[in-house]
Structure 1
Amino acid sequence: MMANTASPVDQDVLIVGAGISGIGMAVHLQMHCPDRSFALVERRAQLGGTWDLFRYPGIRSDSDMHTLGFIFEPWKHEKSIADGPAILEYLNRIVDERHIREHIRFDRKVVGADWDSAAACWTVTMEDGEGRTSTTTARWLYLGAGYYDYDEPFDANFAGREDFKGRIVHPQFWPKDLDYKDKRVVVIGSGATAVTIVPSMQEAAHVTMLQRTPTWYFIRPAKDGLANFLRKILPEKLAYKITRYKNVRLQDIAFRRAREKPEKVKEFLTRKLKASLGDHYDAEAFTPPYNPWEQRLCLVPDADFFEAMKAGKASVVTDHVERFDATGIQLKSGKHLDADIIITATGLKLAVAGKIPVRIDGERVDWHEHFYYKACMFSNVPNFSAVFGYLNASWTLRADIVSEYVCRVLNHMKATNTLVATPVLADPSSLEEENVFDFSSGYIQRSLHIMPKSTASLPWRLSQNYVQDRIDMRTGAIDDGILTFTNAKAKAPAAPTELEAAE
C-alpha cells in the first residue's frame, strides 16, 4: 500500500476498462510498482474493449501488431495485420499468464468518480447489469476507457430511413443473424471500417462502397517478412524489439514526409493504387481533396479491397446521399443505388473520460476547461490519468509510455511520502491554445468542443510525436515544478453556529 495513507482505500490504483489500455497498465504496475494494489473494472462481460465490441466481417487492426502489441509482450503470429480474434487471444493470454484476470470485475459500468481532497482518494460509483450500484475507493484513477462512445455511434441522420424495406446496420452493433449471402449491399463510408467490410463480404451478390469523399490508401502485406525471418534466427524478444523499432521509425518517417512533401507522397500512393487496380483505377474515386495524413492513412493489407473490385465483387461510387427510399439510396446526382442491406460505416462518436461524471470536491469537471499535461494528466485534476492514443501511429505506443510514466509518478510519491500528484496551472490564460488535432477527420472535428485543451509546447500538450514523447516521458523530471506533490488537505473548520458566536 502507499505510504502515509490519509484514510484506507480499497486499492491503490483503480483502472477503468479492460481493453488494451487497461490491461497494459495492470502489467506495468506489476512490473514497476509491485507494492501497489490495483483492480480493473470493465462494463462488458468480456475483456478486450474495442476488439470484443466490434464483430463485423473481417474486423482487424489498422496498425501493425508489432506496434499495436505491447512493449513487454512479443507478437507471435505470422500475420502482422491481425484479425480481431487473434488480438483477443493475445490479450487473454497476457491476462491469464500474468494472473490479472482475478483483478478484473466484469459487468461494472462506472457512473461516477468523486475526488475528496480531505481523504485524498477517489470514490467510484458503479452499476451492474441489474442496475444495482456499488462503490469502491482508490488513491489513483486510471482511465483506459477508449476514445469513443460505446453506447451510440455517430448518426448521420439520413432522410428516409424508415422508408427502406431492407435492413440497416451500423458496424458498431453488428447483428449475429445478418445473412448477406447473394444480397446487394451498400456500405456508406470510406474509412478503415468500410474498407475492411467490403472485401470481407464475399458471399454478397455485390458490395458497393458509397463515399462522399475519397480516402488515401496505403497497401502493405498482411505478413511482415522481416519480422517472420528474424523470429526464425533470433530470440523472440529481440526479434520483436527490432521489428517494433523498424516499424516505429517507418511510421514516423512516413508521417513527417507527408507533412513536409505532400505532393511527393500523393504521387507515391497514387502510383501504388494504379499498379494495384490497373484498368479499374478511377481518379475521381481515389483522389482525396486533402493531403495524406490530414486524415489517418487507411491501410489495405494485401490489397484485398482492390482485389475484390477487380474480381467484380465490389465497386466504389462517389456521391452524396439524397435520401433512403424503399429499394435503396437516392443519390444527389440523380442516380439510384439498389440495396437489400445498407451498412452505415459513418464513423464513431468521441467521448471524453468514458462519459463518466468526474467531480473534484463536489464540483463537476468540464474537460474542455482543462489542459492536457504530459499527454495523460489534466491541469488541476489530482491523481488522475487517461489514455488517448496517437492519431498517426498505433494506440498502444501511447498506452505503454503513459503506463510507464504513471508508474514513475507513483514511485516518486512513495519516495517522497506524498499522496497527491496534481499538475497545477494557476493561470490558464497564460497558455496559448493550439488545436493539436490537426486532422480533418469528421469524428475529430465534430468533437473539438468537448476535448481537453492543448498548447503548442510541452508539457501542456497532447503531442503526436511518439519518438520524442517516449524520451520525455521516460527521462523528463517527474518533479518539474508543475506536477505538485502534496498530502490530504485538512478540512476547513466548520463555521460557528449563531449560539457559539454569541458566546
Structure 2
Amino acid sequence: MAAEKSLHEYDVILVGAGISGINFAYRLQERNPELSFCILEGRHELGGTWSLFKYPGIRSDSDLYTFGFPWRPWEEQNSIAQGARIINYMKESAAMYGIDKKIQYHHQVNNANYSTSSKRWTLDVTANGSEQRAFRCKFFLMCTGYYDYKEPLKAIIPGIEDFEGTVAHPQFWPEDMDYTDKNVVIVGSGATAITLLPNLAPKASHVTILQRSPSYVMSQPSEDKLELLIRRMTWWSKPLEHRLIRWKWLLVPFLFTRFAYTFPKTCRKLFGKAIQAQLPPTLPRDPHFNPSYDPFEQRVCFCPDGDFYECLRSGKGSVQTGVIEKVTPHGIKLTSGDELHPDIIVTATGLKVRFAGGMKLSIDDKPYNVAEKFIWKGVMLEDLPNAAFVIGYVDASWTLGADATAQLMCRMMKQMRKEHVVEVVPRRSEAEKRTMTEEPLLRLTSTYVRKAKDMLPKAGSSGQWKARSYYYKDIWMAWFGDIRSGLEWVRGV
C-alpha cells in the first residue's frame, strides 16, 4: 500500500540531468508536447560531468559550437571552454525553456522493471538519501553517461599506499589541496593529464606527466582564421554567424577524421610534424609523443592555443615515459632505474565505465543482462521494450550523438501515438542470430574501453545492429530512416 501511495506517473521518464538529459527534455517539449515527463537526477544539481569534476582547469575536449545545444547557440568567441562556464551555460539553457522545473534532484534510480502485462516501466528510487519512491512510465530514457560517478578506474600502481605525500584523483579533487611550490607527478596521458599540466604548473614548483605510453596532443586555436572571417562577413546577423560557425565545426572535423581513417599513415606523419614543431629541443618526440596506434584509434587530446606545449617549453612542465616499478614513501621508482620525487601524485588513470548509472534492469522481475545484448541503431537495447540509451561519439562532440538519439526517439514516440502502439521492442531475426558477428560498440582501443567490454551492449556486423558511424548519417536516419526493421510494434487492444 505504501508503494502505491508514493507512485508517480509520467508518459516518459529521463534518468540523468547532464547534457543528454537536458537536450532530450528540450526535444520532448518541442516534438512531443502532449507527453508528460520528468528528469530524475541522483546528484544535487544538473550538469553531469561538469558538476562532478572540480580539478584545476577542467575544460571541454570538444568544441562548444557542437558540444553546446543546437537549439541554443554557444555565443562566446572561444571553441574550448572551462567547466564552470559550461555548467552555467547548461543551467541558463535549462531555465530558459523551463526544463529545470522538470528535474527532481537527489533521486537515485536503483532498479527499473518493465511489465509486459501493463506495458509500463516501474522505477524504484531512493529520494533525498533515504525515502523510497516508485515512478511509473510508458517510455524510459537512460541519459546517464557511461562512467561511474562514485568510483574511478582503479589502476594498479605498486606501492601507492606507501607514499607519504598527497595522492589525489581528478574525479574527486580535494578542494583544499595546496600545490603551491610542490613537485607534482601526474600519472596518465589522457585529456585530464594534458589539461592539468598547464593549469597546475604556474603555482607548482614543477609538474611531470608520467606515462606508460604516449597520446596524440594537438593544439587548437581558441578562434581560428575561418571563424574570424565568418564573424566579419556576418556582422549584420548573429543567427547566421552562429549557424555558419556551427556548420564549420560540423564539417571540418568530420572531413579530417574521415581522412585519418582512410589514410592513417599519412595522418600519423602530419600529426608527428605538428607535434615536433612545438616541442622544446630538450624533449624528443620519440618516445614521449610517438604513440603506437594511429590517430583516433584512441581519443586525440586537444589543448587550446598550445598551452600544454608552452608549459613544456617554459621548463615548468615535463614528460617522462616509463613503467612504474614501485612507489616508495618518498618517490616513484621506474623499471628503467629512473626515480621521481614528488610531493603530490595525481592518478589521472581514467574513468570506470558503468552502464546506466549502475541501475539494475529487469523484465517481469527477471534480470536483464546488458552485456549479452546487441544495440539497435546505437540507441535501443535488444529485447528491452520502450527504452533507449544515449551514447555519443568518440571522434566528435557527445551532444551530436545525444541529439541524433533524441530526435530519433521523439519521432518514434510520435509514430507510436499516431498508430496506437503501446510497445516497441528491438528483436534480431533468427537468421541474424545465426550469422551476425559481434563488433565493438565504441571504436576505441583505450584501456578503460577494453576493460568495460563485459559491461556494455554489443554492436553487430549487419543491418540495424551496426555501431554508430558519424553524425550526418545518424541525423539523416533520425529524420527519415527506417524505424521498422529490427523492431516489433505492438498495438494496444
Compute the TM-score of the two structures, normalised by the length of structure 2.
0.94
- Equivalent positions of 1:275-294 (< 5 A) are 275-283=277-285, 284-294=287-297
2:444 matches 1:444: no
Please point out which of 461, 468, 473 is paired with 2:473: 468
Decide whether the 8 Å contact of 2:378 with 2:466 is kept in 1: yes
- Equivalent positions of 1:132-281 (< 5 A) are 132-201=131-200, 202-227=202-227, 229-231=229-231, 233-281=235-283
Deviation at 1:437, TM superposition (A): 3.0
Q: Equivalent residue for 1:114?
A: 113
- Equivalent positions of 1:384-423 (< 5 A) are 384-423=387-426
Indicate how the Cα distance of structure 1 residues 159 and 197 shifts in structure 2: closer, same or farther if over 3 A, else same: same
Q: Equivalent residue for 1:501?
A: none
Decide whether the 8 Å contact of 2:436 with 2:462 is kept in 1: no
- Equivalent positions of 1:248-397 (< 5 A) are 248-283=250-285, 284-397=287-400
SS at match of 2:327: strand
Indicate how the Cα distance of structure 1 residues 262 and 234 shifts in structure 2: closer, same or farther if over 3 A, else same: farther
CA RMSD of aligned residues (A): 1.6
Residues 91-118 of structure 1 deviation map (CA, whole Å, 9 limit, x = unaligned): 0011111111111000111100010111
Deviation at 1:468, TM superposition (A): 1.5
Q: Number of aligned pairs?
A: 481
Decide whether the 8 Å contact of 2:378 with 2:459 is kept in 1: no
Residues 104-137 of structure 1 deviation map (CA, whole Å, 9 limit, x = unaligned): 0001111000101111111111113432211111
Matched letter for residue 38 of structure 1: F
Matched letter for residue 252 of structure 2: L
Decide whether the 8 Å contact of 1:120 with 1:487 is kept in 2: no
Deviation at 1:86, TM superposition (A): 1.0
Decide whether the 8 Å contact of 1:9 with 1:121 is kept in 2: no
CA distance in 1, matches of 2:228, 2:25: 29
CA distance in 2, matches of 1:55, 1:457: 42
Deviation at 1:457, TM superposition (A): 3.1
Residues 395-423 of structure 1 deviation map (CA, whole Å, 9 limit, x = unaligned): 00000110001100110011001111111
Q: Equivalent residue for 1:499?
A: none
Q: Equivalent residue for 1:498?
A: none
Decide whether the 8 Å contact of 1:117 with 1:488 is kept in 2: no
Q: Equivalent residue for 2:3?
A: none
Farther-moved stretch of structure 1 (413-422 vs 55-64): 413-422
SS at match of 1:459: helix
2:482 matches 1:483: no
Decide whether the 8 Å contact of 2:280 with 2:312 is kept in 1: no
Matched letter for residue 488 of structure 2: T
Residues 290-347 of structure 1 deviation map (CA, whole Å, 9 limit, x = unaligned): 1111111111111101101111110000001111111121111111100110000000
Q: Equivalent residue for 1:82?
A: 81
CA distance in 2, matches of 1:393, 1:200: 24
Deviation at 1:289, TM superposition (A): 1.1
CA distance in 1, matches of 2:149, 2:34: 33
Deviation at 1:150, TM superposition (A): 0.8
Deviation at 1:248, TM superposition (A): 1.8
CA distance in 1, matches of 2:225, 2:140: 41
CA distance in 1, matches of 2:229, 2:256: 24
SS at match of 1:155: coil
Deviation at 1:280, TM superposition (A): 4.0
Decide whether the 8 Å contact of 2:429 with 2:486 is kept in 1: no
CA distance in 2, matches of 1:483, 1:240: 38
CA distance in 2, matches of 1:94, 1:104: 13
Farther-moved stretch of structure 1 (196-205 vs 432-441): 432-441
Matched letter for residue 450 of structure 1: M
Deviation at 1:44, TM superposition (A): 0.5
SS at match of 1:10: strand
SS at match of 1:315: strand
Decide whether the 8 Å contact of 1:371 with 1:461 is kept in 2: no
Deviation at 1:236, TM superposition (A): 3.0
CA distance in 2, matches of 1:422, 1:263: 42
Q: Equivalent residue for 1:454?
A: 459
Q: Equivalent residue for 1:62?
A: 61
Residues 343-362 of structure 1 deviation map (CA, whole Å, 9 limit, x = unaligned): 00000011112211000111
CA distance in 1, matches of 2:391, 2:330: 41
Q: Equivalent residue for 1:5?
A: none
Residues 362-397 of structure 1 deviation map (CA, whole Å, 9 limit, x = unaligned): 111111111110111011110100111111111000
Farther-moved stretch of structure 1 (64-73 vs 431-440): 431-440
Deviation at 1:247, TM superposition (A): 1.5
Farther-moved stretch of structure 1 (32-41 vs 449-458): 449-458
SS at match of 1:233: coil
Deviation at 1:158, TM superposition (A): 1.3
CA distance in 1, matches of 2:8, 2:124: 14
Deviation at 1:477, TM superposition (A): 2.9
CA distance in 1, matches of 2:9, 2:368: 24
**Can you give the 5+ residue segments of structure 2 that lack an aligned partner in the other structure?**
1-6
